[in-house]
Amino acid sequence: MKRREFITLLGGAVVWPLAARAQQVAKQPTIGFLGASTPAAQSQWNAAFVQRLRELGWIDGRNLAIEYRWAEGLFECSPAIIAELVRLKVDVIVTHGTANVLAAKQATSVIPIVFPVPGDPVANGLVASLARPGGNVSGLSVQGPDTAGKRLELLREVVPGLQRVGTLADVENPYNGPETREIQAVARALGLQVDMLEIRRAEDIAPAIETLKGRVGALCIPSDPLFNTNRVRINTLALSARLPTIYFDRGYVDGGGLMSYGPNWADLFRRAGDYVDKILRGAKPGDLPVEQPTKFDLVINLTTAKALGLTVPDSFLLRADEVIE
């Protein structure tokens, strides 16, 4: 073999694998992930999502890339963030919070969109139906209003003589209206009065809770990214005002809240990983039915209960999925 031919073959042997690897990298799918809150506030949910992807063979940084973005409870920022993900030509958009999912749907009719936890996706125009979503959007629905009333019932069991309950309403989020109305309706049925204060930004939370101090016997905080982003602040203010609290997610209780009841959000984010896996393997989101929660958790923090001077009935503790001491 001539020296020049040998060099050409050797060069080809070196160049070909490099080109193949470059092509392989180019095919690596990318998920655009828009969190409605902050990385710290929803760390457990994100961890469940990433872990499920790993179980299904998708590893961030190896055969998958995840572009994380965070709205921090400010829905007015969502359209610009979604537009950025669309420009990046991600393969799937994963986001939660009805406003965020609507922003994604308005931005693209081509890129598949998976939602782990919006409100009623049919009523809010996200999908045509739960069984046949159609279009490029599907996921899991929390059906928040269905559990809002249950939280009031649980609160009354733990707080003796409860007659008046305070709640906060993020008026910048028009999609939490059903949950707020459910709280008011169930309160009337239980003979409770509700003081609802409007919140527009994080700075409104402290004066609102100060206003409720001495007027109500407890707080029922609805699901909302703004409140989740500021849950440490809410817990601190509520404890200072000696107000028992109930929330939609156990993350608040881990941080010192009294108790929570609602769908297991980490499980919903985990199951969102199944949707992403199916889509990356060729499924169309419009053909994937919207699923409902299968796990509901009642969590209570006994340390907080003692600090508030509350004695939790044994029957209640036996029903709890977790008791934090």
For 135-156, write each residue's pLDDT tens digit.
Answer: 999 999 876 556 888 899 999 9
* Alpha-carbon torsion, ordered 187, 192, 198, 202, to 10 deg: -90
**How far is the C-alpha of 39 from the C-alpha of 72, rounded, in Å?**
9
Per-residue pLDDT, 297: 94
User: CA quadruple 94, 97, 100, 101: dihedral positive or negative?
Assistant: positive
- Taking residues 53-61, report their average pLDDT: 97
Q: Is the pLDDT of residue 62 over 80?
A: yes
Whether 241 contacts 307, CB under 8 Å: no
- pLDDT tens digits, 191-209: 999 999 999 999 999 999 9
Structural element, H or E, at residue 265: helix 265-280
Per-residue pLDDT, 7: 38
Q: Which CATH architecture has domain 9-142+265-295?
A: 3-Layer(aba) Sandwich (3.40)
**How far is the C-alpha of 315 from the C-alpha of 157, rounded, in Å?**
10
Per-residue pLDDT, 15: 42
Q: Provide the greatest CA pair distance for the chain.
A: 98
**How far is the C-alpha of 249 from the C-alpha of 118, rounded, in Å?**
14
Per-residue pLDDT, 11: 45
CA 71 to chain centre: 12
pLDDT averaged over the chain?
A: 89
- pLDDT tens digits, 91-106: 999 999 888 999 999 9
How confident is residue 282, by pLDDT bands cut at 50, 70 and 90?
Answer: very high
Per-residue pLDDT, 145: 59
- Strand ranges, E, within the chain: 30-35, 65-70, 92-95, 113-115, 137-139, 164-170, 193-199, 218-220, 245-247, 259-263, 296-301, 322-324
The DSSP symbol for 289 reads: P
9-142+265-295 shares its CATH topology with 145-263+297-324: yes
- Taking residues 162-183, report their average pLDDT: 86
- pLDDT tens digits, 286-302: 999 999 999 999 999 99
Q: Residues of the chain with pLDDT > 90: what percent?
A: 73
CATH of domain 145-263+297-324: 3.40.50.2300
Whether 2 contacts 65, CB under 8 Å: no
Per-residue pLDDT, 171: 87
Per-residue pLDDT, 6: 40
- pLDDT tens digits, 8-41: 444 444 443 444 444 444 579 999 999 999 999 8
Per-residue pLDDT, 283: 97
- pLDDT tens digits, 71-85: 998 888 999 999 999
Domain chopping of the chain, boundaries: 9-142+265-295, 145-263+297-324
